[in-house]
Copies of this chain bind each other. A is one copy, B any other.
């Protein structure tokens, strides 16, 4: 395939204005609570949070204070992600005060940069001689990648070059250290991230050394001789990770996605976040270079993830040990990991794939993750987060069974390893990027989020206004604002879950037979005039979903889904012991908008049964002869994304049938 022919491009975040009743809550929360709160955390001003020490580390590294480094070796990235989130936020909202904070922070970052361009406070504070000696474990290039992303975003948002210059100097220095040339280090980072960041830097600066360096890191991964083996020889291995992610070298290689060259990998293995960050970098390099083998590897791994290793909520990563994928169809609901960051990475990866090939499967996965696992990960106060996103919670088991202790029944305050909340802030502030892309005269509508967007076609301004009450209702209105008559094409995604829909153009019904659906997108092409409006009505019946029976954990169980929203049962509505409930698949389901439930949400009411156990007949025995005994109960299901915001208790996504 010729990728350039199919590629579409995202609109600038500045040109997309989200004003959506569902998402505005979260966007507001991120802007008004998460970003300011995170700033306080970075500055150790939050008494109840674990010490962050990030700004202090930078002040020490800049020579402004005395002291020791404190925190994880990737502690710096908290600031980088904060700056990136601030940049996205500033692209859509002016906030001089916030910009001032960021500018000051950037001044400090610049001061902490070494004369050679190096930037990483973990190493610059007293460990300079250890630089680049432990790429496997120390996240050195990963940290660089986050600063590069921040530098690009801040330049795009404000036009200010200071951070961009800082990261260019850093990237130039990295380029002088790493590469295939003799005398350079032929290595790569244990945690992928710089690969995708370098492509962003290449696009922002036009300097193709950055693209080449990214490609080098990607292609070097998994080659023989094994770089990390060489590293081990040169130093004592750090035992912490050995203990945590134990096992023979083969497992370790898989944990790091270094078991094979990336183009030969067929299954997603190891640490889930690393996999999707790697794939994002691969897709970006494939797009820019036209490397179809690289792109095919992306597709292969995409298919493996979404058809064999993805939870119905959009979560990925089946085990807490190594925060990792396990193997095809192994999707335990109770010992699950499904880290928030991994799903964010999956969304970013999907977006890159979507920009190479306009296939609705990518946007479908973005939608699945956004409305379920992502929404779930943050509380409605913006101060509590799920790092792990389980599909089944028994609070007592989380407390008392060690294999479930990572599964928290309530959202937690900021974390010691605080990767998820800032990552979430980055995603939510950049949500506008996921709604539309453009390819020449075609405007793709990928997500249904009320918003306006400006673009240019043939030098003429085109504006699209989208209004919808998604995800609760399937009506979407798109209105065009044009300079005059315009020959263009609208490509509107028909979600994978949607079996029936109608579309009207300026009030006139479009017959299904006339509609062209290409790769999951409804194509409306022709000459449009300003004021043309399209009314799309996606039928949203409640559907019971089942999993491929190879998913042993979901055998005999179903999930209630309506539109993109996955439902779950909570103890607060259904009493304790949710596992004891069976759902009647033939019972009608009542769809009720509950305006009291948080900001209002659709709940589902249906009928089911509870098994009865004759405690008396059992005479205290745990086990007794089976008799079919059950009592009818009413079942209430709420959107998975908002679970755990009321009385804490059990939660269950997959319900017995």
Please state if B626 and A546 are interface contacts (CB–CB under 8 Å).
yes
Q: A548-B613, A577-B549 are in contact. Are A622 and B306 (CB under 8 A)?
A: yes
Q: Which of the 9-residue segments A110-118, A342-350, A554-562 touches chain B?
A: A554-562
| A308 smallest CB distance to B (angstroms) | 7
CB 8 Å contact bits of A606-643 with B (1 = contact, 0 = none): 00001101010010111111101000000000000000
Given contacts A326-B397, A403-B335, A555-B580, contact A549 B319 (CB under 8 A): no
Question: In the bound complex, do residue B319 and residue A403 qualify as a contact, i.e. CB atoms below 8 Å apart?
Answer: yes
B585 with A552: CB separation less than 8 A = no
When chains A and B are docked, how far (Å) is the Cα of A546 from the Cα of B552?
A: 20
Interface size of A by CB at 8 A reads 60
Q: Is the CB of A400 closer than 8 A to any CB of chain B?
A: yes
Asked if A528 is at the interface (CB within 8 A of a chain B CB), the reply is no
Interface: A49 (CB within 8 A)? no
Nearest chain B CB to A313's CB is how many angstroms away? 11
A145 within 8 A of B: no
Chain A positions 65-115 with a Cβ under 8 Å from a chain B Cβ: none
Partner of A401, one of B332, B559, B611: B332
Instruction: Check if A388 is an interface residue, CB within 8 A of chain B.
Output: no
Contact A623 B401 (CB under 8 A): no
CB distance from A650 to the nearest CB of B (A): 9
Are A312 and B625 neighbours in the complex by a CB distance under 8 Å?
Answer: no
Q: Is the CB of A330 within 8 A of B613?
A: no
A613 contact set on B, CB distance < 8 A: 546, 548-549
Q: How far is the CB of A397 from chain B (nearest CB, A)?
A: 6
Asked if A401 and B622 make an inter-chain contact with CB atoms under 8 angstroms apart, the answer reads no
Alpha-carbon gap, A307 to B582, bound state (A): 25
Counted per complex, copies of this chain come to 2
Nearest CB in chain B: distance from A331 CB, A: 8
Residues on B with beta carbons closer than 8 Å to the beta carbon of A625: 543-546
Distance from A389 Cβ to chain B, minimum over Cβ atoms (Å): 17
Q: Does A597 contact B (CB under 8 A)?
A: no
- The verdict on A185 contacting chain B, using a C-beta distance below 8 Å, is no
Against B, the Cβ 8 Å flags (1 = close, 0 = not) of A279-321 are: 0000000000000000000000001001110101000001111
Roughly how many angstroms separate A402 CA and B550 CA in the complex, as a whole number? Answer: 19
Q: Which residues of A (112-141) have their CB < 8 Å from a CB of B? A: none
What is the bound-complex CA distance between A616 and B496, given in angstroms? 15
From B307, B543, B657, give the contact of A621 (CB < 8 A): B307
B322, A402: Cβ atoms under 8 Å? yes
Give the CA-CA distance A525 to B293 in the complex, in Å: 86
Contacts known (A330-B401, A402-B322, A555-B580); A308 close to B622, Cβ less than 8 A = yes
Q: Across the interface, do B620 and A303 meet the contact criterion of CB distance under 8 Å?
A: yes
A320 to B404, CA, bound (A): 12
Minimum Cβ distance to chain B for residue A533 (Å) = 32
A618 touches B548 (CB 8 A): yes
By the criterion CB–CB under 8 Å, are B549 and A611 in contact? yes
**A60 at interface (Cβ–Cβ under 8 A)?**
no
Q: For the complex, is A656 an interface residue (Cβ under 8 Å from B)? A: yes
CB of B558 within 8 A of CB of A622, answer no
Partner of A623, one of B396, B548, B579: B548
Given contacts A307-B621, A322-B402, A549-B613, contact A657 B330 (CB under 8 A): no
Complexed CA–CA distance, A543 and B627 (Å): 10
Closest residue of B by beta carbon distance from A623:
B545
Distance in angstroms from A309 CB to nearest chain B CB is 9
Any B CB within 8 A of the CB of A551: yes
Q: Which residues of B contact A549 (CB under 8 A)?
A: 577, 579-580, 610-611, 613
Q: List 15 A-B contacts (CB under 8 A).
A: A306-B622, A307-B622, A308-B622, A320-B403, A332-B401, A332-B403, A335-B403, A543-B626, A544-B626, A545-B624, A550-B577, A551-B622, A553-B579, A555-B656, A556-B582
Binding site for B on A (CB under 8 A): 243, 303, 306-308, 310, 312, 318-322, 326-327, 330, 332, 335, 394, 396-397, 400-403, 496, 543-553, 555-556, 558-559, 577, 579-580, 582, 585, 610-611, 613, 615, 618, 620-626, 628, 656-657
Q: What 5 pairs across the A-B complex have the smallest Cβ distances?
A: A321-B402, A552-B579, A544-B626, A555-B579, A546-B626
Given A326-B402, A547-B623, 4 more A-B residue pairs with CB atoms under 8 Å apart are A319-B402, A327-B397, A549-B579, A550-B577
